[in-house]
Structure 1
Amino acid sequence: MSSARIVRRVGDSPRQRGSATGQTCPDLFELSDGNFAVIGTDRTEELDALLPADAARADYERIVVITRDTLLRAKRDIPDV
């Protein structure tokens, strides 16, 4: 089990993006180990067979979809390097 912790949200909160509840929407977080965690909709079954030939997914990995708005609002918080 990883000892990484959530350091910060990347981008606007779901409520700032217009979620009525602010609780059940896509989200992005930077972790203490430098990686990012994504909350999104699991669409692995639907998209797995559509991956390009040079893409692969391990059994423990999922294809997670977030809204375009979520990613665009996070862009300002993602470092260039």
Structure 2
Amino acid sequence: MRGLTGPSARLYLRTVREHYPDLDRISDDVLVAHGNALCVARGQALVDQAKKTKKELEVTGRQASQILGTAHGHCGRNVFR
């Protein structure tokens, strides 16, 4: 299953917090919710979700890209392999 749940959500959040301290004003729950939405979106829905994330979180394009890239790097990853 793809998405940010359980261990993959925790790893995603830890990665964001360690590498992007400028996003510290955004709560853990909100980051995971947006990261998960970016994980499951495809095609035009991904573009739309990226724009929604940028607007709702009031982040720059670069910050939105960091959230998107980190989320996709952790989507559905089995951290126990």
Which is higher, the Rg of structure 1 or of structure 2?
A: 1
Q: Given the two structures, how large is their TM-score scaled by the length of structure 1?
A: 0.33
Which fold has the larger relative contact order, with Cα–Cα distance below 8 Å and residues 6 or more apart in sequence? 2
From the two aligned structures, give the one with the greater strand fraction. 1
Q: TM-score, normalised by structure 2?
A: 0.33
